[in-house]
Chains A and B, each alone.
Chain A
Amino acid sequence: MQVSNTIDCNGLSPAPTLLRIMQALVGRDDCGAPLNVLVGSDCNCDRLAASLGPLAGDVQLSHNIRQFASIN
């Protein structure tokens, strides 16, 4: 199952954002690198991370796609 390492959640409210992250994590080969998640400017990343619970460690949330290039 091939899943991209960056997913776009821009424009999504918190519930579908969370679902999209969970769906991407399930279909992903364990490549060690975190899943990059692009979120909208109004997304509260701390709250989203709390909702993700233990899965939060597998993702990197950012408002800016350029940030991912500097991490990975």
Chain B
Amino acid sequence: MLEDPAKESSETHRRYANTPETPDFAFDPEDPWTQTFQEGLARADLRGKTVYEVGVGTGINVAFILRNCGAARVYGSDLDPRLVVLAESNLRSLSPQHAAYFEPVHGSVSLIDTDAARAKIDKTDVVIACIPQVGEPSDERLTAFREAQSVKLAKGAEDEAEDHIAHYYPWSLFDEYPYNSVGLGLNEALMRRVRQQAPHAQLVMNFGCRIGTEIICECFEANGYKPEKIASKIVLQHAGTDISFFVTLEKALSGTNLEKQLVCKFYSDPDGKKPLSATEAQNLIDMDPEVALYHEVAVIRGIPITN
């Protein structure tokens, strides 16, 4: 029996052991980002729906939406071809009775950019994704922009962890998308592709809201979707994570009379009551690299706007 998503609770989380195999190249599903995403997925009315996950990672969400949200079928792919294979095997161990309802698209698939992926998107009701929102620190043009604002990269920021592509995207490659200017180029590219390929499909996307939810909602609207925040959590900013991108945005706007229109949102407390700009957050990190800083993660549902 599938769980009723309406009854989804921490109780449900406890009854099932969600411990997928997580090699170093996979995004850690214990991360609060994934927990927030799943809270949103539980509220996204997925019962009976066909869902496509872009960037499946370990496959933890595939198992969750089949088992806990009552989705009828799930498609999924990832830029890293190893991950979709991992997702299949994790689903077989986490929820064998649902394994037949997952149809992976194999190979390296960026967004939905293969014929096989597009064929599945044609049959999809809801596209879900939690994909990178920060440009590669080593991106040549991003580096030039950062240096023009005299902002330094954090020590070690250019070292690539095994799961590097879970966190960063090739910024210059997505420059044709206007919201690339604030780190949303990859996400906007997905919005446009889905809008074109499956105009009636909804989007459910997970965001780190360090640039504020307003501008993320603006991006949905500019691409033909009515945005609605369906889950939100204040999470700990990973110590050592480079925030120079956000500092650079603030610095570039200073003295332009537009600085108040985009102030990045960090917090010094876990309740999200004491806001800090990125510049203030960076000053605290410079004084103590281990300082605890927080930011919001939110799940935004986009309903296609029909004219």
Contact = CB atoms under 8 A, between A and B. Distances in A.
Given A3-B141, A18-B253, A51-B258, A12 B148 contact: no
Contact of B262 (A15, A23, A53): A15
A33 interface: no
B176 interface: yes
Given A20-B181, A27-B144, A12 B256 contact: no
Interface residues of A, number: 26
Interface string B205-247: 0000000000100100011000000000000000000000000
A1 B176 contact: no
Interface residues of B, number: 26
Contact of B178 (A11, A47, A50, A53): A11
B236 to A, nearest CB: 27
Contacts of A20: 178, 180-181
A31 interface: no
B158 interface: no
Contacts of B255: 53
Majority secondary structure of chain B interface residues (helix, strand, loop or mixed): helix
Contacts of A10: 178, 222
Interface in B244-277: 249, 252-253, 255-258, 261-262
Given A1-B144, A19-B181, A27-B141, A14 B261 contact: yes
B148 A16 contact: no
Given A16-B215, A51-B258, A23 B176 contact: no
B264 to A, nearest CB: 11
A8 B222 contact: no
A8 B177 CA distance: 8
Nearest to B221: A11
Centre residue among B140, B178, B262 by max chain A CB count within 10 A: B178
A65 B110 CA distance: 30
Nearest to A47: B257
A13 B181 CA distance: 11
Interface of B: 140-141, 144-145, 148, 172, 175-176, 178-182, 215, 218, 222-223, 249, 252-253, 255-258, 261-262
Given A22-B252, A27-B144, 6 more contacts: A16-B179, A16-B181, A19-B249, A26-B145, A47-B257, A53-B256
Interface of A: 1, 3-4, 8-20, 22-24, 26-27, 47, 50-53
